[in-house]
Amino acid sequence: MNITWNSVVTFHYTLRDEEGDTLDSSIGKDPFAFIQGSHQIVPGLEQQMEGHKAGDKFTAVVKPDMGYGEFDKSLLQRVPLDRFGGNTVEQGMQFQAGEHGIFTVREVVDGHALLDGNHPLAGVTLNFEVEITDVREATAEELSHGHVHGPGGHHH
């Protein structure tokens, strides 16, 4: 069966940046499962999955606009450290800021923290090595719940 809209796709992947550094991988773990067309993976990878079948291996290059977006400088802001209620703030920390999303502390300098509201992979071209391990039709229950059930998916 070829991957089409509403099919359940199970796959292994290795994700690398433009320098070839591994950012994430499912190798040695359970494969990832999703419903094609459900927006559960980045759009550029989902588009490149279309038409493949179990056993296919391919490389998918996903530009930022079809991955985690372009880097947006307007999402950077300097915040005085006294606004953190006396809590220690260090580079690399991440935190939820209400309805504004997740912020990463990029640097702490001169009594201020530089906060970044971009996704950590914004502006990065994503290089996926993909191996499709299974393709099947999604069940009515999976479609109504919006996620895969069983191995590699959600268990109720």
Same domain, 63 and 131: yes
Instruction: List the CATH number of the domain containing 110.
Output: 2.40.10.330
Same domain, 64 and 127: yes
Same domain, 112 and 93: yes
Within a domain: 1: no
For residue 100, pLDDT beyond 90 = no
Tell me how many degrees the CA angle 64-68-70 measures, rounded to the nearest 5.
50
Q: Supply the pTM of this predicted model.
A: 0.85
Within a domain: 111: yes
Residues paired with residue 32 on neighbouring β-strands, in sequence order: 11
Same domain, 29 and 59: yes
For residue 89, pLDDT beyond 70 = yes
Same domain, 64 and 77: no
Domain count, the chain: 2
Q: Sign of torsion, CA 40 1 53 51?
A: negative
Same domain, 108 and 133: no
Model confidence pLDDT, tens digit, residues 30-51: 999 999 999 999 999 999 999 9
Q: DSSP secondary structure string, 28-87?
A: TSPPEEEETTS--S-HHHHHHHTT-BTT-EEEEEE-GGGTT----GGGEEEEEGGGGTT-
Q: What is the pLDDT of residue 38?
A: 94
- Local confidence band at 95 (pLDDT 50, 70, 90 cut-offs): confident
pLDDT (average), residues 47-71? 98
Model confidence pLDDT, tens digit, residues 104-117: 999 999 999 999 99
pLDDT (average), residues 63-77? 96
Same domain, 13 and 59: yes
Numbers of helices and strands, H then E, in the chain: 2, 9
Domain of 105, in residue numbers: 73-116
Q: What is the pLDDT of residue 152?
A: 57
